[in-house]
Amino acid sequence: MTLQEMSEEYRAQALALQGRIKQLKQARGKAETAWEKESLTRRILTLDTLWREARDQAVLLEHYYERGYRRNARYTL
């Protein structure tokens, strides 16, 4: 598997996570109890972190072989 193919996989996972986050936000809007809302909020925050990392990794892998690419301070080459 090439790095370009890996970046495509990360992008696909980021899209899947983003879709799930939207579903959970809708469910949170319909939740009746404060406990349900809090539980859904925690899940959304966790998935949001995973989504952001998958998205950042996809960008990093896409530009891995570009000389001087250092646009992401978290992941340096």
**pLDDT one digit per residue (tens) for the chain, 77 residues:** 888 899 999 999 999 999 999 999 999 999 999 999 999 999 999 999 999 999 999 988 888 887 766 666 666 55
Question: What confidence score (pLDDT) does residue 49 get?
Answer: 97
Question: What confidence score (pLDDT) does residue 37 get?
Answer: 97
The CA distance from 64 to 7, in Å, is 10
What pTM was computed for the model? Answer: 0.82
Question: What confidence score (pLDDT) does residue 71 get?
Answer: 63
